[in-house]
Chains A and B, each alone.
Chain A
Amino acid sequence: MKKKMSWIALVSVMTLMASLLAACGGSGGTGASKEPDGNASGAATTLRFATWDTGDALKIEQEIAKKFEESHPGTKVQVEAYADGFDQKLAAGFGAANPPDVMYMWDFPTYHQSLEPLDDYASKDKDLNIDDFYQGLFNYGKMDNKLYGIPAGFTTRVVYYNKKMFDDAGLAYPSDGWTWGEFQEMAQKLTDKSKKQYGFGVRAENDTYDLQGFVWSNGGSFISEDGTTIEGYMNSKETAEAIQMLGDMLKNGSAVLTGGKGQQSGEDIFKAGKIAMWESGIWPLESFRDAGIDVGTVEMPAFPGKPLKGVLAESALSIAKDSKNKDLAWEFIKYYVSDEAIKMRVADLPVRVSVVNELKKDQDPLYKPYYTMLERSDNTPAFLLNPKWNEVNRQLSAAVESIMFGSDAGEVLNQAVKDSERYLK
């Protein structure tokens, strides 16, 4: 009996030692592997959020993520700033079935198949208060009548002007309802080449998306409304005219080419007080004010006798189909478009009517033009009409760029249409 007891003791001692040894040997490994376990048990889920923003906008987004973590204990939001490489990285993430849970999205035609339809979430969740949004914004996030993105921010395009330069030139500030003719006249007067000072800045490499406002205002468009045809649209007289106007302004010297090789960006030149007018969305407004420019905003000019049209740039939030935390992702989106978060995001225009009313943004003369332009932004952008638009756009972009370098708009647009036809067949 006694002998048996000692055997048992011996065995237990040996197992104890073995476990101790194992513990010692594996301490490095277990320490590392325990970390996620601990998180899981404490419900610390990591939510990945991809954004294209950088700088101050990114800082605000990180702030929002932190606030969300505070209100949702056990959640960690990993903000992934893809910046310039956004499209590449997103594509890579979807390709590897390892996409971020939540992401900024605009190119729904390309990605909607990898995204989670959000209709159910939006209609079931009363907290979202979907009716409070500017309803036009939802058009951009819909593919085949399914909602893939919740609008997070948007901007329309306006003309910024440097009040001091207008004052110096003895010109009255522009006002809503002005025309391109008035615009060009002012630009001429504001130009002083001896001071390297210009009335207007034209981007060397325009995003054709942004040019749609010009084109639409002149009664043209890049593609037919059914999205099947570009011949007669992209190379139409109205379209060519609108774009040629920019090239002409460069030619006659009332505008300067910006952002090209060896050129400063238009924003930097505007901030330096060397161009009087600049056409853009809301993004640079803060930086203009920070730079000490007395800046004013005004609606885009209209083509005489034609209705002014605007183009809407929208950022939406989407959930990846492969996400493992869809509910949490939805919670994050909901928080991101809540009053609190919207107020934090000054680089975007509020998507909720209630916030705009509360902040009286549409009453502020500096912000008002964005909202009037919003009302004029009822055309559907080309990329939403044809899934192959990206291919067509390559030719169009090159054509537009060559126009800025002096090519004839009608000629190069015909060439671009000719080169693009094959993608639409």
Chain B
Amino acid sequence: MNLQGIKDRVGRLFTGTYHSIRTKLLICFLIVTLIPLFSLGGLSYYQSAKVINSQFGKYGDNAVAQLEQQTSSALGRMKQTAETIYSYLLDPSHSGIGAGTPSTYGDIMEKNDFESLLKSLRTQLTAGIYIITTSGYYYGENNLDVNKLGNIPMWSTKPKAYAGTYWLGFYKQDHSIKSSDSDNVPVIGLAVPIHHPDKAQDGSIILIEESAEELLRSYAKFEADTHAHLLITSPDGTVVYETDAPYTPHDNDVTWSRTLGVNQWTMEARVPAKAFYQSSGVIRANTMVVAIVSCLLAFGIAYLFSSRFTSRIRTLKDSMQKVSFGKLDTRTPIEGRDELGSLDMSFNRMVTGVQTLIGEVEQSERLKKEAELRAFHYQINPHLLFNTLNSIQWKARLEGAEDIRQMLYHLTMVLEGNLDISQELVTLNRELRMIGHFLKIQEIRYGEVFRYELDCDEALLPYLIPRMTLQPLFENIFFHAFTDGQGEIHVKVEEDHDELVLTLRDNGAGIKEEKLAQLFSPEMKRKGRGGLGVRNADQKFKLHFGPLYGLKVHSIKGEGTTITIRWPKKEESFDDESRVH
């Protein structure tokens, strides 16, 4: 399952559907690391491979040149020896050297002189110097078995008539008279026929053999060092020497070639291109390994770094998502004091703010709902009430009870104002008129025992005021402040810049201090009916115009109460006007 996850992730990474910051960071990182890495690696590979290839090429060239030199000097030495012998034999004073076995004193003297020359021609490397005559007798060290000369591979194939030199190539020396000790050292051979007509020596062959051990060792060392295939061919195409290992020549082989000046042998060393470039291949492989390791390292570091980075963003994102689902008490942990930390901090602050705000909105919404519910409660079938009242009023008129009719009329007016909930804001004029009706009822009830004074500029009357805010206050005055309706009520409306100030003053009983303090407190349980009117009125103002506005109560026990209401000027819009009708 985990594997599947990784697979998915990798898949997304490569198809490009995974556009996370991490991926981008990762790619960014890799690009930043890999471009210099690969360019540097590639450059150094190219450079060093070039140097190495050219050096190896030069080395091989030099090595072949050295082999050629070594071989040439051996061949040259042998040729020189043969020439010396040849010229010795051509000397007329040495005519005693014949084809047969020397048996006379004079012949033996000649033979001894000649053989001492041959001995003096020997060097460290000389393996054999013989002059084989037509009779089968030979000059030279007494260790040759003429019958075994056929063991030399090219001895029997040498052409009957030839002049100059005949190179026998490399072979194991196997013509010793001693059958037992056949050390069979590898030698290189040269046969030179003597053309000396009219002389007994004519037809003899000078055989020069030089130890090839050192040469072959050099060849082997060269082959081992360079893994080259060495091929020496004579001009007629005969293979003189070839590396043991099987080899198929290719066109792209690296070839070093030399021709020996002594006998026109061609020396050719071939290295398969693969082997030739092997050392640079090693560099390439190393570069690749380093690149891959660096790549993985970069990937790892990038992954680590980006995951640390993006995980914080992710946490923040998750927090935001939770908030968007409504979990407002979500807070994101603050890690570090960097930009992301401050982002976390701002986020937390913002969520706190939103939470508070939503709390407030919720609160006011709930109050509004409550008020509406209450209003709805009062609204229950006002038509029945009004019809009934009208009927009573009409009956009172028939009965001639004028004061009852009056009272019913004012009550109807007051109720109409109270129950009309179509508008929350009404003109000051209307509210004051309703207060007038309310006071008429009180007057009928108590008689003309109180005084009401209104001090309001005509111009202020169209301004709006929340509905049913003043009436409860007046009710309070009659129920709590006055006894039997006796007292004075003074209402004054003023304008203060953009605001209106209404002062309601009475000279009633006043409010006790402890009660005054509880007046605006919502927690206070309703005790009787007192105080509710003040708070409701205050809330209505605050609801409509904001918390800055509302009621202020100033009261001295026994001397009366002054309520000051302050709210912004607001005229009834045309829209509202049309709605009234």
Residues of A within 8 A of B (CB): 85, 204-205, 259-265, 268, 394-395, 397-399, 401-402, 405-407, 412, 415-416, 419
Contact = CB atoms under 8 A, between A and B. Distances in A.
17 contacts: A85-B122, A259-B142, A260-B142, A261-B144, A262-B145, A262-B146, A262-B177, A394-B109, A394-B112, A395-B109, A397-B112, A399-B105, A401-B108, A402-B104, A405-B101, A405-B103, A412-B105
Interface string B162-187: 00000000000000011010000000
Nearest to A404: B103
B153 interface: no
A398 B146 contact: no
Closest 8 CB pairs of A and B: A405-B103, A398-B108, A402-B105, A412-B105, A398-B109, A401-B108, A402-B108, A415-B105
A397 B352 CA distance: 132
Interface string B67-108: 000000000000000000000000000000000011111011
A261 B132 CA distance: 11
Given A260-B142, A398-B112, A399-B105, 8 more contacts: A268-B178, A395-B109, A397-B112, A398-B105, A401-B112, A405-B104, A405-B108, A416-B105
A407 B138 contact: no
Contacts of B145: 262
Contacts of B178: 264-265, 268
B103 A402 contact: yes
B450 interface: no
B29 interface: no
Interface residues of B, number: 20
Given A268-B180, A395-B109, A261 B142 contact: yes
Interface in B370-387: none
A263 B103 contact: no
A394 B113 CA distance: 9
B558 interface: no
Contacts of B146: 262
Given A259-B142, A397-B112, A264 B177 contact: yes
B137 interface: yes
Nearest to B120: A88
A44 B525 CA distance: 124
Nearest to B136: A262
Contacts of B122: 85
A399 B103 CA distance: 10
B104 A407 contact: yes
Interface in B9-53: none
Given A268-B178, A394-B112, A397-B112, A262 B105 contact: no
B137 to A, nearest CB: 6
Which of A399, A405, A406 lies at the interface centre, i.e. has the most chain B CB atoms within 10 A of its CB?
A: A405
Nearest to A413: B105
Contacts of A401: 108, 112
B147 to A, nearest CB: 8
Contact of B144 (A262, A399, A412): A262
A359 B354 CA distance: 125
Interface of B: 101-105, 107-109, 112, 122, 136-138, 142, 144-146, 177-178, 180
A406 B105 CA distance: 10
Interface of B is mostly: loop
B239 to A, nearest CB: 32
A415 to B, nearest CB: 5
Nearest to B177: A264
Given A402-B103, A402-B104, A261 B137 contact: yes
B109 to A, nearest CB: 4
B136 to A, nearest CB: 7
Contacts of B105: 398-399, 402, 407, 412, 415-416
A261 B115 CA distance: 12
B110 to A, nearest CB: 9
A415 B137 CA distance: 25
A234 to B, nearest CB: 13
A262 B137 CA distance: 8
A65 B107 CA distance: 45
Contacts of A261: 101, 137-138, 142, 144
Contact of B142 (A85, A205, A394, A395): A205
Nearest to A402: B105
Given A262-B146, A394-B112, A397-B112, A406 B180 contact: no
A312 B257 CA distance: 60
A263 B108 contact: no
B107 to A, nearest CB: 8
A222 B362 CA distance: 153
A407 B142 contact: no
Contacts of A264: 177-178
A264 B109 CA distance: 23
Most chain A beta-carbon neighbours within 10 Å: one of B108, B136, B138, B144 = B108
Nearest to B139: A261
A419 B146 CA distance: 33
Nearest to B103: A405
A299 B178 CA distance: 29
A258 B567 CA distance: 157
A404 to B, nearest CB: 9
Contacts of B109: 394-395, 398, 419
B546 to A, nearest CB: 79
A416 B109 CA distance: 10
Contacts of B112: 394, 397-398, 401
A243 to B, nearest CB: 13
Contacts of A407: 103-105
Contacts of A415: 105
A61 to B, nearest CB: 20
A261 B112 CA distance: 13
A163 B323 CA distance: 125
Contacts of B180: 268
Contacts of A260: 142
